[in-house]
Structures are given as C-alpha cells and as structure tokens.
C-alpha cells in the first residue's frame, strides 16, 4: 500500500515505519493516524515480518505531537472520538506479537512520547527530547500518556511531568526508565539493529509469549497473570522451538529456531 505520510522499508525481516511529515516535525494528523492503522494491519497480516521499528523523518523530530492545528478545532464529542481512535491504533501496535522498537531520533512530545511508549522498547538519540506538554495547551494527553507514563517511570515522576508539561532530555529519560538506551544520533540505526539481531536470535514463539505475558499480565491481578504465564509456558513446551532450544543447549551448539 502507498502512504502519503509514512515511509515503509524492509530489511531482512525488519520493517521500518517512518512517520514522514518532516515539515511539520512529523506531527500526527488524522490522516497519519489512519495510515498508521493500515500499516499496523499490514504487519499483523504478514508472517514474514519479524520485528518493527518506528521512527521519524528528518533530523529534528521523532513526532512532535498530535497535529495542533487539527486539535484546536475539536468539539467535546469529536475530541473524545479523536482520543479513542488514537488509543485503539497505539494499543494494536503495543499488542503486536513481534518486537516493536521506537528509534527516537528527536522531539518525542505529546502524541510522539505516547507513540514511543506504545512501542515495546525505546532507543533514543542523545538529542531526543521527551515530554507531555499538553497542559500547556489546556489539554491532557489523549493517546495513553496518562496511563503508560506512570507504568514506565512510576506515579510520582509521571504526575510531575504531566502537570508541569516540562521536557526531559534523553539522558534524564534513560535515568527514569522512559528509554532503554541512548546513543549518538548517527549510531541510532546501528544500535537498534544490533538490539533486534540479539532478540531475533531467540525463539520467536518465546519472544512473542514474553510480550503477551507482559502486555496482558500487567493489567491482571498477580494470580491471574501467573496463570497466564504458566499457560504460555505450557504452550511453549508443545513447540518444536522449545525442543530445538533445549536440545541445542544439551548438544552444545547454537539453536536454529527458524529451520523447518
């Protein structure tokens, strides 16, 4: 499918979706959210895609937020629908069964910070800037920011960031657990690729079960989440991949999870 506001590239099973409106710092307008939804559907339907990277076009921004020119005209009913639509798209991204990495190359503000938080792992360039500045516009985050931020950085830090709307440097974002790693801007692609290579060497079913256990389990009570974990552990034990992984260990060789 051809997109106006996204660039799609594939390399060895790794798909990259680049939000591509650099003249507007990749702000997420309604059209871009719709395209992102279609791009996620393509990933859901394609077994050949083993991992997904989300990044932003240009030197300056990952995504500088929802498109403020569109936000400014919304009435209350439309605004709620606007939020629900974006939440649904980001939730589908988060629930993908393959690893999703945000390569945060610059400003990740508002909806951009929220998009990065819906990814499973965040790697940031040292010039990336994070924040939920919506209160400065008289708004609150509407794409999951009030929920994912406290889950990542803890309630106190999240509330402080949400209420002040202040920006956080990449270094601080790493210190508080908002990003997993920070690197030089020109190393971002290499660092993300190396991370994915280390993940993709592991059992694909086990990787996807880890994602499901974390994504679904964190929303359950501990007893239910533990039962989910045990069930997925059982399902994994029925797989050829588990047989290959354990046999390879005992035979002192590297497992090959992708054969057969």
Residue from 3, 24, 193, 202 touching ligand COA (CB under 6 A): that is 24
CB distance 148 to 118 below 8 Å: yes
Shortest reach from residue 159's CB to ligand COA, in Å: 18
Question: Can you tell me which residue has the tokens 């499901």?
Answer: 212
Region binding ligand COA by CB under 6 A among candidate stretches 39-47, 59-67, 94-102, 115-123: 59-67
Per rule CB under 6 A, count of chain residues that contact ligand COA: 16
* Distance between CA atoms of residues 63 and 243, nearest Å: 43
Catalogue the active-site residues. 114, 134
Residue from 66, 100, 210, 242 touching ligand COA (CB under 6 A): that is 66
Nearer to ligand COA, 74 or 225 (CB): 74
- When asked if residue 69 is in the footprint of ligand COA (CB under 6 A), the reply is yes
- When asked if residue 35 is in the footprint of ligand COA (CB under 6 A), the reply is no
* Distance between CA atoms of residues 171 and 127, nearest Å: 9
Of 127, 117, 120, the closest CA to residue 96 belongs to 120
77's CB contacts (< 8 A; 6+ apart) are none
Nearer to ligand COA, 132 or 241 (CB): 132
Question: Can you tell me which residue has the tokens 């009570």?
Answer: 221
Of 57, 8, 6, 13, the closest CA to residue 193 belongs to 13
Question: Can you tell me which residue has the tokens 């393509």?
Answer: 42
Instruction: Please list every residue from 83 through 142 that binds ligand COA, using CB under 6 A.
Output: 107, 109-111, 133-134, 137
- When asked if residue 43 is in the footprint of ligand COA (CB under 6 A), the reply is no
* Distance between CA atoms of residues 38 and 41, nearest Å: 5
- The residues binding ligand COA (CB under 6 A) are 24-25, 27, 64-69, 107, 109-111, 133-134, 137
């Amino acid at each position: 499918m051809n997109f106006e506001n996204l660039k799609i590239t594939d390399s060895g099973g790794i798909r990259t979706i680049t939000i591509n409106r650099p003249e507007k710092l990749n702000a997420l307008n309604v059209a871009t959210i719709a395209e992102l939804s279609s791009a996620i559907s393509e990933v859901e339907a394609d077994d050949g895609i083993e991992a997904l990277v989300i990044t932003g076009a240009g030197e300056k921004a990952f995504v500088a937020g929802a498109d403020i020119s569109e936000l400014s005209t919304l009435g209350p009913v439309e605004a709620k629908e606007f939020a629900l639509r974006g939440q649904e798209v980001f939730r589908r991204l988060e629930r993908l069964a393959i690893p999703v990495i945000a390569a945060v190359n610059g400003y990740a503000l508002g909806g951009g910070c929220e998009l990065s938080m819906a990814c499973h792992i965040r790697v940031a360039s040292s010039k990336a800037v994070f924040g939920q500045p919506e209160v400065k516009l008289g708004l609150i985050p509407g794409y999951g920011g009030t929920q994912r931020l406290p889950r990542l950085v803890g309630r106190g830090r999240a509330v402080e960031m949400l209420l002040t709307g202040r920006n956080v440097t990449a270094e601080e974002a790493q210190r508080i657990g908002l990003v997993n790693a920070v690197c030089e801007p020109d190393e971002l692609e290499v660092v993300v690729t190396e991370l994915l290579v280390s993940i993709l060497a592991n059992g694909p079913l086990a990787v996807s079960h880890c994602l499901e256990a974390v994504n679904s389990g964190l929303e359950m009570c501990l007893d239910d989440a533990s039962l989910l974990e045990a069930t997925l552990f059982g399902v994994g034990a029925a797989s050829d991949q588990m047989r290959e992984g354990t046999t390879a260990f005992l035979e002192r060789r590297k497992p090959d999870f992708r054969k057969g």
